[in-house]
Amino acid sequence: MAAIINGKEISKQIKDELKEKVSKMKASGVEPCLAVVLVGEDPASQVYVKNKKNACEYIGIKSLSYELPESTSEEELLKLVDELNKNDEVNGILVQLPLPKQIDEDKIIRAISPDKDVDGFHPESVGRLSIGEKGFKSCTPAGIIELLKRSNIEIDGKECVIIGRSNIVGKPMGMLMLRENATVTICHSHTKNIKEVCKRADILIVAIGKREMIDASYVKEGATVIDVGMHRKEDGHLTGDVDFESVIPVCSAYTPVPGGVGPMTIAMLMNNCVESVER
């Protein structure tokens, strides 16, 4: 029977560990503070931002909330980021993506000080990750590493196949798995014989954004399958990029959707925020 990797439980453990750390920090007179910036009224972004603020409250991190209208200009947002960069009270800055079309996301990401880049999206953070230097790690890939380690799933020397090459998940995931001494392959839309490549994987990480695309024909017997996808079905339930009814009889462990990778992203954001203070 395949084991369920319980992201909800593991993220709770991490948040409880952080809560203890923050309480000690506060006793010594330091209060971590995250600035959360939301532009516009995208319903999914509103939910994500609310969950992030709730996590801050649970752990004891102060959160400053900036909710700006859809019509906000790039200049106005850059001005706010600049103020937050200069504000000594603020340890971390989170600008929720996507941004309205008149704002260049890349410009905003680059404007955030690398010292406060708790999302780990700044080119300096990405570069540091790539050469194994200390820096903020992109939250979803860092959360997946924690899920594997805390579930005692060996990474060192294993074949890891990642499907998807986004800047936020696929690429940093590859770098982090490499740091853990896995042999890494990243597949994408131009990859030939994708099933054969996936079937080599001891750890298969799926981040393609296509609902239930990966079935048992992509999975080696006994593999661990990590699903980064999130889709809402017609009946309102959530599902991922993996067709688990098909995959569960073949794999040895898997992350469910919901309750797998999702809760870990927020836990690792909180971890980055606490790390930002420790530096």
Q: Supply the residues annotated as catalytic.
A: 52, 96, 119
Sheet holding 224-227, edge to edge: 3-4, 253-254, 224-227, 203-206, 159-163, 183-187
d(CA 241, CA 141): 16
Nearer to ligand GUN, 54 or 181 (CB): 54
User: Which residues, at least 6 apart from 105, have a Cβ–Cβ distance to it below 8 Å?
Assistant: 97, 98, 99
Which residues are 186's β-sheet partners? 162
Radius of gyration (C-alpha) of the chain in whole angstroms: 19
Nearer to ligand GUN, 8 or 195 (CB): 8
Minimum gap (Å) between residue 42 Cβ and ligand GUN: 9
DSSP 242: B
Encoded one letter per residue, x for contact with ligand GUN by CB under 6 A and - for no contact, window 227-266 reads: --------------------------------------x-
Nearer to ligand GUN, 142 or 223 (CB): 142
- Rounded to 5 degrees, what are φ and ψ at 223? -70, 160
Other Cβ atoms less than 10 A from the Cβ of 256: the count is: 20
Minimum gap (Å) between residue 95 Cβ and ligand GUN: 6
Minimum gap (Å) between residue 116 Cβ and ligand GUN: 13
d(CA 175, CA 279): 22
Minimum gap (Å) between residue 93 Cβ and ligand GUN: 9
d(CA 176, CA 179): 5
Q: Is 173 in the site for ligand GUN (CB under 6 A)?
A: no
Minimum gap (Å) between residue 96 Cβ and ligand GUN: 5
Q: Is 223 in the site for ligand GUN (CB under 6 A)?
A: no
Please identify the residue of the shown chain whose CB is closest to the bound ligand GUN: 97
Binding test (CB under 6 A) with ligand GUN, winner from 22, 56, 119, 212: 119
Nearer to ligand GUN, 139 or 205 (CB): 139
Residue where the block lists tokens 């593991």: 10
d(CA 187, CA 202): 15
Encoded one letter per residue, x for contact with ligand GUN by CB under 6 A and - for no contact, window 123-162 reads: ----------------x-----------------------
Q: Binders of ligand GUN: how many residues, by CB under 6 A?
A: 7
Report 86-105 residues binding ligand GUN (CB under 6 A). Answer: 94-97
DSSP 33: E
User: Residue 138 corresponds to which tokens in the numbers above?
Assistant: 């992109």
Minimum gap (Å) between residue 117 Cβ and ligand GUN: 10
Q: For the chain, give the longest Cα–Cα distance.
A: 57
Nearer to ligand GUN, 173 or 251 (CB): 173
Interacting residue ranges for ligand GUN, rule: CB under 6 A: 94-97, 119, 139, 265
